[in-house]
Structure 1
Amino acid sequence: MVSVGVLLLAYAFAVAPVTTSRLRDEPASHRPAPAEQQDSVVTAEANGLAPADPILSAPPGQQLFPPVGKAFIGAFTQQGPYDFTALDTFTAAAKHQPQVMLFSAGWAADQFDRTPFDRIKDRGMLPMLGWEPWDYRLDVAARKKRLSAREIDKLRSNQPAYRLSRIARGDFDSYLRSWAEGIKSLGYPVAIRFAHEMNGFWYPWCESVNGNRKGDYVKAWRHVHDLFQAAGATNVSWVWSPNARWSRSTPKLSALYPGDDYVDWVGATGYYGTGAFSRYRSFDSIFNPTIKEIRTFSSKPMVITETGASDGHKRKAEWIKEAFRVLPGHKDIIGLIWFEVNKELDWRIVSSSAAAKAFAQSVAGPRYQFTWSPEMVPRTALGG
């Protein structure tokens, strides 16, 4: 189960794990929205979007994750929990121990294996699984043929075997149950980011492709969630994570939202440096329209589930500093996961000493200084 490389920002990850020694060369995902969709993005106000501070209660003797007034820093690397070399390099450059690690698994190739989860947990990080209902190997094959981005999108998104209606009607229930029982057996919290970037067109679980229909995404999500609940896998924090709005023509997010009873954290993915965000756009310019839209239908804690910056205009360090300068104003954002991968574009903080320094200085503040432990209770609500 794991993920890999980056496509650019509009894609999302595809990866597969089998053994901890296996190296990953599959695409992991994400690139900003395709260039042909470079609509103007209206910059929302930097302030006033966040709901009230998180609820300050947890069961007696247990601490919330993240603690009150804190926000976690997470990382995604190409090899994920199968080779921690890139994570160690990131940690050294950031001078900060990440509290979350994101990795991916695809339904066609990956069976449940507790090893990646345990390896992440033993490193002092909450495991976040990017769980992807598709066959990522079709994407790998298309890239090896050096097809155009448009051709790759068309091939990777057309996978009738993984149509949303099939998930909702129970065709994958045996597979889902094996994962639910496995994750329950871990005995510590995990987060699952299921079928992310559903508001795009580049995955077979997006409603605009693959023979899917309006409403199918919510039905599929609820079916998967309910099966986990029935199996007693209550140690899961469910993360709903669309792509940051890059065009006014993208689907309304409210129609894709399963509901607060089915979601623990809302998220968003966005990058500076390609597609609709090729020219310089601040963190708020990229994310605020999406945050503002989500806040019309949910007040769940928010996570920036993937972000990164390229240095095409030599403004990467500037972007990093600016992003962390405004983050404390978003009191509902409880964490940020950095895409530490060099593929097609170099999103890594280690790409330059200036970027590494900017990141290290930014996360040195007390807001990000705390340690995750399996005994902590993931925050699931915001309140007064």
Structure 2
Amino acid sequence: MTQNSSPLVNRRSLLKAAALTPLAGMALTSCSTKSSTGAPANSTVTVTSYGGSYNDQFTQTILDPFAKQSGIKPTLLANTSLAALKAQVQSGDVQWDLVEITAPEYEAAVKEDLLEKFDYDIISDKGLPGYAKAEYGIKYLSFLFVMAWDETVITNGQAPADWSQFFDQNRYDTKRSIYNQLSDSSVLEAALMADGVPFDQIYPLDVDRALRVLAATPGKDRLLYHAANQEPIQQLTSREVSLSTSFNNRINAARADGAKLNFSPQNAVLAGDYFVVPKGAKNKEAAFKLMNFMSNDAEAGAAFDKVTNLTLANTPALSKLPQEIADTLPTSPKLADKILVRDDKWWAENLKATEQKFKLWQAS
């Protein structure tokens, strides 16, 4: 998700990526997959996402107002994954009602018949931009995959202007951290941009060429990996690395909490996540009501956009935003010529093979 450097509204302190508000109803742990039991159907809704500051922001701006308006009690979990969703559906023990997954994972879940069709009698599509509405989900969120740095080591005047500078070991004699979850990461695209490939020639990805770039600049021994969105913030603030890939909203949240970090939207990669309902979800009607709220409530949507600097698929919210904030959102026309739009179709068709090749390369 795109984390920009503009000074956006308050975020609660949450570099300690485990805290949730009382609404969440339970602690965020890596094994947390079950919702609270015993409640009447559709009086609750269990939502699972990525945790950390993002979950905290989502709770404040979306889930709390939805609970107040609807009387439906949300429970928010972390550590979302397509694998866990699939396991629940196949076992018949579905504990989640609304699940955040990446765009390639959405395509895979549709092919494997793991999802409920979205009920657009409950969800009004009036607030949805055209790209967001799908049969089995809503592409509700747009974000930027960016290059980030520790301002105490690399000043903004010395910061990388593009991916070739980001990976240049002669320019920055430091380790870099890169996101190794390819369903959500654009590190291969970044490597190709570093090698001079223009936006309109990035796809289809030349995976072997991208890996050669990573091996040569900065070299495999100079790369660290992170597998969760909170990790690069921890690695940067602890001085373990001075440069890292990240998402724009994560860097903004860290800056709001006082961290001396920054990022650039230059050569960022625009991508998005879907919310889906697993087949057999116990509270799918409540999940659809939450999606309707997220897609059409202008005040909640604007609050989310302000605090995260992400673009929610909620057109009415855009009219509530100050222009200086609207101009920094991932979908702003002012960023159009600076960023690469991720090819979800290519990734959906090639994710498994590319992940396997990347893991073999890491291990070799």
Higher relative contact order (CA 8 A, sep 6+): 2
The two structures have a TM-score, normalised by structure 1, of 0.26
Which has the greater radius of gyration?
2
Indicate the structure with greater helix content: 2
Q: TM-score, normalised by structure 2?
A: 0.27
